[in-house]
Chain A
Amino acid sequence: MRNRICVSALTLLVLVSCVSAADTVRVGSKVFTESIILGDIATQVINDAGIPADHKRQLGGTRIPWEALLRGEIDIYPEYTGTISQEILASKQPMSEAQIRETLAQRGIRMTRSLGFNDTYAIGMRRDVAVKYHINSISDLAMHPELRLGFSNEFMDRADCWRSLRPAYHLPQTDVKGLDHDLAYKALQTGSIDATDVYSTDAKIKSLNLAVLIDDLHHFPEYNAVYLYRADVQARFPKAVAAIERMESQINESEMVDLNARVELQKLPESKVAAEFLQHKFGINSAALDAVDSRTTRIIARTREHLFMVAISLVSAIIVAIPLGIVAAKRPRLGQIILAIASIIYTIPSLALLVFLIPIFGITGYLPAIVALFLYSLLPMIRNTHAGLIEIPRGIRESAEALGLPPRTRLRLIELPLASGAILSGIKTAAVINVATATLGALIGAGGYGQPILTGIRLSSTPLVLEGAIPAALLALIVQGIFELSERFVVPRGLRLKAESAGL
C-alpha cells in the first residue's frame, strides 16, 4: 500500500515534467517588459502560422532562458546582440553579427537578423533644454560645460559607460552625480539635472518627452534585438522560423518605445499590446486581441497553479517525511543525521535552492519549484513526527511493550495515534510555509500567485502586487483553518480531552 502511494507520487512528478508536449513551440522571455512583448509577438505570429505556441513568460535574467534554450526546454526567446557577445559568449572584443552567428551555430543555436531596433544605452535630455542649446548628438554636449549630468549608479560604474564615454567625447562637465535611475528621471523633470542615461527604447522617453542624443562616435555597443532559436526548430517547425523571420527589421526604436509605454504607462497586458501591433502592422488577427483577461479569471488560473504546486509537494513530502521521522525517533543516531540534513536544507535561501535544483530538474516549469517546496516541507514534518514519538511517556510506551505487541503494531496502534497531534501540526506548518514559498515558482515560469507579484514589482503596480499577495495570504489562512478543523478527525478524542483538562 505504502509502496503504491510512493509509485503514484513519482509518476505524478514525472508527468508534471512532461506536461509541455513536443508538438508545441515553447517561447521564453526574460523578466522585463520589452522581452515579454517580443515573446508575445513571437508566440502570436507562430500561432498565426498554424503552429501551437506557448509563452513561458518572465523566466528571470539572461542565464535562465539561455540555459533553458540550450537544454531544449524552450525553443525560442528574444535576446540582444550585445548581451550575446558580452554576457553569454563572454567575449572581450566586440563581435560582428557573422561571428556571433557562427559561435552560436556551434552550440546548436541560430539567430534571426535584427528586429529593427537597437536597445542600447543613450543619453536623454529634456527636449526644451536640447532645443535651447541646439544639442542633437553627444558630441554637442562638449560645448556646454555648465550642463549638470546625473547618471544611474550602474552607468557610472560600467567600463563601457561614463568612464569611457567622458574621454571618448572629451566631455568637460564637472557637475556629475550618480543616483538611482528612477530618481534621475524625477531630477530631470524638475530641472535639477539636464541629462541622464536612458535605454534607447525606454518608455520614459515618450512619457517625459525626452530628446535622445545621437551616439555619433558609436561609443555604445550595439544591442540589436533578435530572436534566438534552437537549430532543430528549423526542422521541426519550418513555418515557425519563417514566422519569426518575418519580424526582421519590422520594429523600429520609436515603435518599441511606444509598445513599452503602452504596457508600463497604460498598464495594458503585454499580450494585448503585441496583438494590436501585429494587427495594425501585418493585419494578423491574434486570439489575444479579444481575449478577455478579467481579474477573476486570472486569479482562478493563478490559484490553480499555486494549489497544484503546494498539493503535489506537500503530499510527496508527507509520504517521505513521516517515515523518516519514525526512523529518526527509533534510531537516535541515524535520527540526528536525518534531522541535521533536513535542517541544513531548510536554511538554504529559497532562491539559492532553486538555482541548485535547476541543473538537476530543468529550468522551466513546475518541477524545480515542486522539488524545492518538497524539500522545505521535510523539516517541520520530520521534526514534529520525531518529537511526537519521543515525547510519549515511558510508562505508556513500556505498557504497550509489556502487552506483548510487536513493534510495528505498537507503532500503528499506540505510538502514531499518540503523536498524531504533533505530526498534524508539522504538516500544517509545512503547508503554510509552502503556500508562501510557492510564490517563488513564478521566477521559473511555474505561475502561481508569484506571477502577478513579480509583474506588479516590474511595473510598479500596487494593484497587481496585491492581486498575488492577497490571495496568497488568504490561501495560507484557509490552509491553516482546514488543518485545524481536521484535527477533530485525525487526533483521537481521548487526547483532545487530555488537552482540555490540562488547559483548565
Chain B
Amino acid sequence: MFHLIGVSKTYDSHVALQPTTLRIEPRQTTVFIGPSGCGKSTLLRLMVGLIQPDAGSVEFDNTPLNKGNLLPSRQRMGYVIQDGGLFPHLTARQNVTLAAHYLRYPVTKINSRVQELTDLTHLESTRLQLFPAELSGGQRQRVSLMRALMLDPAVLLLDEPLGALDPMIRRTLQIDLKAIFKKLAKTVVLVTHDLREAVFFADTIVLLRDGKIVQQGPPQDLLNKPADPFVTEFVNAQRDPIEVLDA
C-alpha cells in the first residue's frame, strides 16, 4: 500500500529518520514502535505528507506522493492523533462530516454513513451534537476515528491514538479498535510506544531506534528471535507486572 524508498528526515542538526526503505502491506495492521524520538511518528507523518522527506520518495498505491496528488491521496487516508485533533469550534457531527460536505456528498449519503460509523465505533448518537470540550477523552477518540473513516479511506493511520487515555478506558478502546480493524479489513498503520498494545494489534511490528529500523516482522519474532540486544532490552523493559512479581 505504501512503499517508502530511502526516505530520510533531518530537523536542524537532529536526524529524525535515517535513510529508510519500508513496504506496508495492504489489509494488514502494521505497528511502529520504539522509544521516544526513535522516528516512528516522523515515519507516519511522511506517509500522510504532513512533512516532506529530505531524500527518497513515498509511494502510495504505487504512485509517488507529490504536491499535485497530495490532497486527493489524503482523502483516501484516515488520520487519527493522540488527543483526537478534533476541531473545538465544531460539534462532533460537524467534525465527522466536514470533509464529506466539502466534497459535496449528498446529505442522505452523509447521514447513512454517520449512522454506520456511530454503530461501528459504539458512540452514543446523542453525543454527536456535543462539542469536543463536552466529550470525554474516550468519546473524543471515537469521534476522531469516525472522522478518519468518513470518506471510507483505503488506509487508516493512527499516531498514538490511545496514548492520552487512562488504562481502563484504553483497554476498552483497544478491544473495540481491534474489532473495527478486523471488520473493515483496511490497511492500518499504528504508532505506539506500548509493546503490549503493539503485540495486541500487529500483524507486523516495526521496531525503530535512533531513526533506524532495528527489526521488522511478526510479533513472535520480536520476542523469540531478537535481531539485536536492544530488542531484548526493549522487550524486557515492558514486562508484565505479573511476570515481575513471579520473578
A residues with a Cβ closer than 8 A to B are 395-396, 398-406, 409, 413-414, 417-418, 492-495, 497-498, 501
Q: A395-B82, A398-B50, A405-B99 are in contact. Are A414 and B133 (CB under 8 A)?
A: no
Contact A498 B87, beta carbon cutoff 8 Å: no
Q: Is B145's beta carbon under 8 Å from chain A? A: no
As a 0/1 sequence over residues 90 to 133 of chain B, the CB contacts with chain A under 8 angstroms (1 = contact) are: 11000000110010000000000000000000000000000111
Contact A399 B79, beta carbon cutoff 8 Å: yes
Q: A399-B86, A403-B99 are in contact. Are A493 and B131 (CB under 8 A)?
A: yes
Q: Beyond A395-B85, A399-B79, A413-B102: 17 further Cβ-contacts under 8 Å? A: A398-B45, A398-B50, A401-B48, A401-B74, A402-B50, A402-B74, A403-B147, A405-B99, A405-B102, A414-B89, A417-B89, A493-B89, A494-B131, A494-B133, A495-B89, A498-B88, A498-B133
A396: B residues at CB distance < 8 A: 85-88
B residues with a Cβ closer than 8 A to A are 45, 48, 50, 71-75, 77, 79, 81-83, 85-91, 98-99, 102, 131-134, 144, 147, 151
Pick from A404, A418, A497, A501: contact of B99, CB below 8 A. Answer: A404
Look across to chain A and name the residue whose beta carbon is closest to the beta carbon of B70. Answer: A404
Contact A404 B75, beta carbon cutoff 8 Å: yes
Look across to chain B and name the residue whose beta carbon is closest to the beta carbon of A417. Answer: B89
CA distance A96 to B51 in the complex (A): 81
With contacts defined as CB atoms under 8 Å apart, how many contacts are there between chain A and chain B in the complex? 79
Look across to chain B and name the residue whose beta carbon is closest to the beta carbon of A500. Answer: B133
List 21 contacting pairs A-B, 8 Å CB cutoff, sorted by A: A395-B81, A395-B82, A395-B85, A398-B81, A399-B81, A399-B87, A400-B87, A402-B74, A402-B79, A403-B99, A403-B147, A404-B74, A405-B98, A406-B71, A413-B98, A418-B88, A492-B89, A493-B89, A494-B87, A495-B88, A497-B133
Smallest distance from the beta carbon of A67 to chain B beta carbons, Å? 52
Contact B102 A409, beta carbon cutoff 8 Å: yes
Contact A494 B72, beta carbon cutoff 8 Å: no
Smallest distance from the beta carbon of A497 to chain B beta carbons, Å? 4
CA distance A420 to B71 in the complex (A): 26
CA distance A61 to B134 in the complex (A): 63
Smallest distance from the beta carbon of B113 to chain A beta carbons, Å? 15
Pick from B79, B81, B98, B133: contact of A501, CB below 8 A. Answer: B133
CA distance A417 to B81 in the complex (A): 21
Pick from A402, A406, A414, A493: contact of B87, CB below 8 A. Answer: A414
CA distance A501 to B75 in the complex (A): 33
A405: B residues at CB distance < 8 A: 71, 98-99, 102
